[in-house]
Amino acid sequence: MEDPDTGAMARGDGVSESPGTYLGVSGEEPSRQPKGAGGFDPARPGPADGAPANAKKGRKRRKRRRGRKVFAPGISSQNPQGAAVVEAVAAPPESPAPIRIPPPPLEPSGRPWERGGPLYGRDGPIFAALDLGTNNCRLLVATPGRPGQFRVVDAYSRIVRLGEGLSATGRLSQAAMDRTVEALKVCADKLRNRSIRRARLVATEACRAAENGVEFLDRVRREARIDLEIIDRQTEARLAVSGCGPLVERDTDAVVLFDIGGGSSEIALIDLSRHRTPRLSNHIVSWTSLPVGVVSLAERYGGRDVTPETFAAMVADVAEMIGAFDGRHRISHLMKGSRFHLLGTSGTVTTLAGVHLGLERYDRRRVDGLWLDNEHVDSMIAKLRGWDFQQRVANPCIGADRADLVLAGCAILEAIRAHWPSPRLRVADRGLREGILSELMAEEGVWRRPQNGGGRP
């Protein structure tokens, strides 16, 4: 089966996402990229190729490093300036030493160094984004492409259900934490096997809400050697918007973008009727984060056997939360025209798209950017509601991992559609990770035109 959030085959050990080219982002078969591309291999004590001729240089470098500050162990998503970097440290003998990626050099003005021109191409710098949510653990590794685009060189996704039982107990369960740590160890290995220029490694609702969330992050730091940053809901909404920018066409006046997660659902109202800037998140006029997602709603009402009454109760529950959102009318004056639409980024909408297309195997390239009319959405929701649990399991775009969650997602979608009716919904198989990568690359100035008109050195 495949993970509808990513287009990756959903296996128990986690997988790399399928490659392909899509708006704003291009993908390439990860296996074509050499491990440790760009330099030092952290798994070896010496040079990446092990050549004895380089041993003397290595000794000289070690001498020059004496007396420098030693960082705390782990892969970190923070530096003193708030940027995400991967830090290398003095590791215990039994642990592999992570890579330290130094901050990029700065010009005298304090701006990122341009290196004579745009920093993209096959040998360009590598950036990484990790998103640990309530349901999924996802990693995306990419290099800059043409302005505003990037090329995926490696990716990984695993359904870990970190937030399983959280709504009832207020705590992360031992089994859920065990599953998640194992997935994060895979992500850490992938990061150490590449020369990462910058990274940002974030955790969202499950770690925000759990009583033992901080305790869990300490365990992740010790065992997976990854230092996760818990982001607030506003940052999560902004990053989701940034990741979906390429899917909003130039003649659009307004968009309601929503991200139905496992433990929370972010909604952003975007006004593009005036002058539009390259960064979509600059146009957010109102936003909210509903404290409900597919995992928490399914646990509250039951996700396996959903009666019409249960489904209606779920929709009413979410609708009440949206009704308490004071800023929900900020783009009402723009909703009556044809230049307004909904934009959904979540496993719920990608599942609906896959079912609508009748895919025998989930295909991200066909789903990302797909337009669905109201009739299509109504038909797909009705079809899913008519299937029993085993029929949902049997569908290749749902599978066993999401069969008990998809109707809860449909209920959240129905509440959103009722408050912001639109004849069209665009499907995004992208979001927070792509937003992280776009912002990191923009901050590095990789797409900025060179001052002297030259190309890469």
Whose structure tokens read 């979509």?
Answer: 280
3-state SS, residue 378: helix
Q: Which of 334, 339, 294, 292 is nearest to 317 (CA)?
A: 292
Q: Is 239 part of a structural domain of the chain?
A: no
Q: Is 77 part of a structural domain of the chain?
A: yes
Evaluate the CA torsion angle 414, 419, 424, 429 in order and state its sign.
negative
CATH of the domain at 332: 3.30.420.150
252 and 393 inside one domain: yes
3-state SS, residue 205: helix
pLDDT of residue 44: 32
CATH of the domain at 138: 3.30.420.40
Q: Which of 75, 76, 86 is nearest to 125 (CA)?
A: 86
| Cα 416 to Cα 145: distance, rounded to the nearest angstrom | 35
pLDDT of residue 4: 39
Q: What is the pTM of this model?
A: 0.73
pLDDT of residue 78: 41
258 and 353 inside one domain: yes
173 and 311 inside one domain: no
266 and 221 inside one domain: no
Beta strand 229-230 with 196-203 is parallel
3-state SS, residue 391: helix
157 and 43 inside one domain: yes
Per-residue confidence in pLDDT tens, the chain, 457 aa: 434 343 333 333 344 444 433 344 443 333 333 333 332 232 333 333 333 444 444 444 444 444 333 223 344 444 333 333 333 333 333 444 333 333 433 333 344 433 334 454 556 899 999 999 999 999 999 999 888 789 999 999 999 999 999 989 999 999 999 999 999 999 999 999 999 999 999 999 999 999 999 999 999 999 999 999 999 999 999 999 999 988 999 899 999 999 999 999 999 999 999 888 878 899 999 999 999 999 999 999 999 999 999 999 999 999 999 999 999 999 999 998 889 999 999 889 999 999 999 999 889 899 999 999 999 999 999 999 999 999 999 999 999 999 999 999 999 999 999 999 999 999 999 999 999 999 999 898 888 765 544 444 3
123 and 157 inside one domain: yes
Range of the domain at 73: 2-233+436-444
